[in-house]
Structure 1
Amino acid sequence: MTPSEVRGIETAAGATGPDTGRYLGARPVAAMLCVAGAVGDLVAFEQMLVHGPVVALPFLAAAGALLVVARWLWTSGQAAATLSAVVVLGVLTGLYTVAVGTGLTTGQGNEPLRADPVRTVVLVAQLAALSLLLRTLSGPARSWAVNGLLVIGVALWTLRLTGLLG
């Protein structure tokens, strides 16, 4: 096989590098977005410490989960790691949306958790990473991931409309 034929196969497979004109694929970009989300969660953790550790620890846990997802995406090229990352990002995004939507209190003073600019940027980064990860999946894995996210969304809307989520 000649080098040009090899380059043609790599380009068709979505490889990155100087010969293809693509230097970053969707998975590394999604990993960097996860790291940015983790930084935002750490900032939110620091801001929530004034309300007590019980209120702040979920943000620290979310930052840790996002860093694990970023490592999976950076080091593994398997579809299972991508599918796992989609599930974790979907759950984190859903949990934050439910917490803000239901008016979950922050502990002291019984103030509801409100959306702030830092958490909004984190949420946008998570949604962008989700869309990039869904793009990298192929065939059945992509349809399973999209269908799973749709089922989670419909379940949350149903619980919200019936009043079970507040």
Structure 2
Amino acid sequence: MAALLNLEPDIDVIAEVGDGTAALAALREQQVDVCLLDVQMPGMDGIETAERIRTEQPHVRVLMVTTFDRPGYLKRALAAGASGFVVKDTPADQLAEVVRRIHSGLRVVDPHLAQESLFEGDNPLTEREVEILLRAADGEPVAKIAAALYLSAGTVRNYLSNAIAKTCTTNRIEAARTARDRGWI
């Protein structure tokens, strides 16, 4: 992707990094106008990185370029401050045009994903339900989740029950999978 963008006469790729922490470091060291991020990156994910960029480098515009064309990710990325969201299979010439548009101050969203997100609905999970589902998805037992979050085991089970109901699933693993598939976590 960087090599293709570097072929454009008006686009210079300043840095290529592998994770959100490295992206923030590169932004501190270089003059950058547009930063391309993936939703899922090692360490700090693209959405958290976009939030940090908005806070630390508000002049930098963020374009999410990802294989995960999920409406929930789109909504979370835009809420985090991203100016655009496209999928990785976007043809190189179109990607270059998206970068130009983002640089000029416009917002750009993959049209198919924008349409899907209109009908998908908002994330029904609360922040606490998301936090607990993420831990449950990693296999943490209820007692360990409760201790880590300073909650009772019963309260954790209630949050998990709510998340299961909201995702129309039958257990916490299915709830986490459904929430991930929809881009809610």
TM-score, normalised with respect to structure 1: 0.25
Question: Higher strand proportion, which one?
Answer: 2
TM-score, normalised with respect to structure 2: 0.23
Question: Higher helix proportion, which one?
Answer: 1
Larger RCO, structure (CA 8 Å, separation 6 or more): 1
